[in-house]
């Protein structure tokens, strides 16, 4: 898979072809992924319940592929960026619609721009609020000084 939201980091250039093919066949346990990504097994099972990752099963054991590992990395990155699980799922699923990844990249770009606009609006609101509090602070400090009280004491 060669997709912005689903591919694992490419193997190092010096990696032998045979080991590269073995890497794509690598299977991970839930404990390995939990340890690697510093999340709980419960978190990974939750993402599975939400349909974001689909490990194979061997009895009761979950077997995670390289693709599952990459998807988990993108899920966690998407969450850190503020995407909802629904948005993350839609972005990841776009790869199955268009294997070139172009549709997925366009949608990721569109949604990223929307998130940037929202964050910039919130930053402007916070800056305005901070300014108002600084005005209140200055006025109250000045009034305390006028009344002979030290504004620095509690």
Residue 31: which CATH number? 1.10.1660.10
pLDDT reading at 40 higher than 90 = yes
Each residue of 46-104: pLDDT tens digit? 999 999 999 999 999 999 999 999 999 999 999 999 999 999 999 999 988 888 989 99
Residue 10 counted as domain residue: no
Q: pLDDT band for 3, please (50, 70, 90 cuts).
A: very low
Residue 96 counted as domain residue: yes
Instruction: Judge contact between 85 and 72, C-beta under 8 A.
Output: no
Residue 49 counted as domain residue: yes
Alpha carbon 47 to its chain's center:
13
Residue 7 counted as domain residue: no
Residue 87 counted as domain residue: yes
Residue 148 counted as domain residue: no
Q: How many structural domains comprise the chain?
A: 1
Residue 57 counted as domain residue: yes
- 72 vs 154, which has greater pLDDT? 72
Q: 126: exposed, middle or buried (C-beta count within 10 Å: 0-12, 13-18, 19+)?
A: exposed
Alpha carbon 107 to its chain's center:
16
Residue 113 counted as domain residue: yes
Q: Domain limits at 97?
A: 17-117
Spatial neighbors of 75 by CB under 8 A, at least 6 apart, are 47, 52, 53, 85, 88, 92
Report pLDDT for 29: 96
Q: pLDDT band for 33, please (50, 70, 90 cuts).
A: very high
Long-range CB contacts (< 8 A, 24+ apart) of 16-22? none
């Amino acid at each position: 898979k060669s997709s912005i939201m689903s591919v694992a980091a490419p193997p190092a250039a010096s990696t032998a072809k045979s080991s590269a093919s073995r890497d794509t066949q690598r299977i991970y346990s839930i404990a390995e992924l939990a340890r690697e990504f510093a999340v709980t097994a419960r978190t990974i099972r939750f993402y599975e319940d939400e349909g974001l990752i689909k490990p194979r099963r061997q009895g009761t054991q979950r077997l995670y592929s390289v693709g599952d590992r990459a998807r988990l990395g993108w899920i966690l990155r998407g969450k850190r960026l503020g995407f909802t699980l629904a948005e993350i799922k839609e972005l990841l699923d776009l790869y199955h619609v268009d294997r070139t990844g172009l549709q997925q990249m366009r949608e990721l770009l569109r949604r990223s721009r929307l998130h940037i606009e929202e964050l910039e609006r919130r930053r402007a609101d916070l800056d305005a609020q901070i300014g108002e509090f600084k005005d209140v602070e200055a006025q109250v400090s000045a009034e305390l000084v006028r009344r002979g009280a030290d504004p620095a004491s509690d």
